[in-house]
Amino acid sequence: MEDLVESILDYVKADYTDYAIMINGEWGSGKTYFWNNKIRRKIESLQLNGKRYTTIYMSLYGISNLEDISKKIFIETTQLMDRNLKKFMNYNEQKTIPEYAKTGLDMANFFGVTQNGDKVNYEEFFNTDDKILCFDDLERANVDVIDILGYINNFVEHDHIKTIIICNEKELSTKLKSSNLEMKTFIATYLLDKQGDLNVNDKPMVEKIQDKIEYVFDKANDYERIKEKLIGETFEYAPEFSYIINGLLMRYENNEDLIRFLRSNTNLIISTFNKSGTRNLRILKHALNDFKKIYTMVNKNYPNTNYRVMQTMLIFTIAVSFEIKAGKITKDKFLNINSNEEYKSLLVSSRVLMDNRQFYIKEFDNNYYYNFKSEYRFFKFIEVYVRTRIFDMKIFKEDMEVIINTIDTEKLPGYKRLLTEEYWKISEEQFPKVIEEVLEDVKNGNLKAIEIVKLYAYFSYFIDKGLIDYDIETIKNLFFNGMNLAALNSEYCDNVEEELAKIGIDEVTQGMEDILKYFYNINTQLKEKMYTTKAENIFKCIPMKMETFYEQFATECMDFPILKYYDVFQLFQRISCASNEDIVTIKELLQNRVAQNREKLLPEVKKLKQLKQIIDDYVANKANTIKIVMLKEFASDLGNIIYSYENEN
Render pLDDT for 475-497 as a digit per residue (tens, 0 to 9). Answer: 999 999 999 999 998 889 988 88
Flag whether 42 is in a domain. Answer: yes
Identify the pLDDT of residue 115.
47
Question: How confident is residue 327, by pLDDT bands cut at 50, 70 and 90?
Answer: low
Confirm if 140 and 20 have CB atoms less than 8 A apart.
no
Flag whether 520 is in a domain. Answer: yes
Quick one: 602 exposed, middle or buried, by C-beta within 10 A (0-12, 13-18, 19+)? middle
CATH value at residue 161: 3.40.50
Render pLDDT for 459-476 as a digit per residue (tens, 0 to 9). Answer: 999 999 999 999 999 999
Identify the pLDDT of residue 316.
96
What whole-number percentage of the chain has pLDDT above 90? Answer: 36
Identify the pLDDT of residue 79.
46
Identify the pLDDT of residue 111.
47
**Span 419-443, mean pLDDT?**
86
Is residue 52 located within the same domain as residue 78? yes
Confirm if 161 and 77 have CB atoms less than 8 A apart.
no
Q: Which of 22, 8, 4 is nearest to 165 (CA)?
A: 22
Identify the pLDDT of residue 359.
75
Confirm if 546 and 591 have CB atoms less than 8 A apart.
no
Flag whether 606 is in a domain. Answer: yes
Confirm if 295 and 379 have CB atoms less than 8 A apart.
no
Radius of gyration from C-alpha coordinates of the chain: 37
Is residue 523 located within the same domain as residue 545? no
Confirm if 88 and 67 have CB atoms less than 8 A apart.
no
Is residue 362 located within the same domain as residue 435? no
**Span 518-527, mean pLDDT?**
93
| Residue with the larger pLDDT of the pair 32 and 630 | 630
Render pLDDT for 170-202 as a digit per residue (tens, 0 to 9). Answer: 777 666 555 555 655 666 675 676 677 777 777
**Span 511-525, mean pLDDT?**
92
Is residue 393 located within the same domain as residue 454? no
Domain that includes residue 322, residue range: 241-407
Of the segments 75-79, 323-327, 627-631, which one has the largest average pLDDT value? 627-631
Strands (DSSP E) found in 268-350: none
Which of 499, 529, 559 delimits the end of a domain? 529
Q: What is the DSSP string of 204-243?
A: -HHHHHHHHHHHH--HHHHHHHHHHHHEEEEEE----HHH
In the chain, the number of structural domains is 4
Render pLDDT for 101-149 as a digit per residue (tens, 0 to 9). Answer: 444 455 455 545 544 445 544 444 444 557 888 999 888 888 888 888 8
Is residue 396 located within the same domain as residue 442? no
Identify the pLDDT of residue 235.
86
Flag whether 535 is in a domain. Answer: no
Is residue 139 located within the same domain as residue 107? yes
Q: What spatial distance separates the first Cα and last Cα of the chain, rounded to whole Å?
A: 79
Render pLDDT for 194-247 as a digit per residue (tens, 0 to 9). Answer: 677 777 777 777 777 667 656 555 555 566 777 777 888 888 877 666 667 777
Lowest-confidence pick of 301-305, 523-527, 599-603 = 301-305
Flag whether 211 is in a domain. Answer: no
Flag whether 216 is in a domain. Answer: no
| Residue with the larger pLDDT of the pair 423 and 532 | 532
Is residue 128 located within the same domain as residue 167? yes
Which of 123, 148, 176 delimits the end of a domain? 176
Residue type, 196: G
Lowest-confidence pick of 64-68, 419-423, 544-548, 573-577 = 419-423
Q: Is the pLDDT of residue 412 over 60?
A: yes
Is residue 498 located within the same domain as residue 373? no
Is residue 284 located within the same domain as residue 382? yes
Backbone angle region of 621, left / alpha / beta, with phi > 0 → left and psi within -120 to 50 → alpha: left
Render pLDDT for 330-357 as a digit per residue (tens, 0 to 9). Answer: 667 788 889 988 888 877 763 444 445 5
Is residue 351 located within the same domain as residue 499? no
What whole-number percentage of the chain has pLDDT above 70? Answer: 79
Backbone angle region of 19, left / alpha / beta, with phi > 0 → left and psi within -120 to 50 → alpha: beta
Backbone angle region of 93, left / alpha / beta, with phi > 0 → left and psi within -120 to 50 → alpha: left
**Span 608-628, mean pLDDT?**
94
Render pLDDT for 542-587 as a digit per residue (tens, 0 to 9). Answer: 999 999 999 999 988 999 999 999 999 999 999 999 999 999 999 9
Identify the pLDDT of residue 625.
95
| Residue with the larger pLDDT of the pair 518 and 279 | 518
Question: How confident is residue 99, by pLDDT bands cut at 50, 70 and 90?
Answer: very low
Flag whether 217 is in a domain. Answer: no
Is residue 256 located within the same domain as residue 393? yes
Identify the pLDDT of residue 376.
85
Lowest-confidence pick of 16-25, 427-436, 539-548, 595-604 = 16-25
Is residue 145 located within the same domain as residue 257? no
Flag whether 233 is in a domain. Answer: no
Whether the ω angle into residue 603 lies within 30 degrees of 0, i.e. cis, is no
Identify the pLDDT of residue 515.
92
Which of 158, 176, 194 delimits the end of a domain? 176
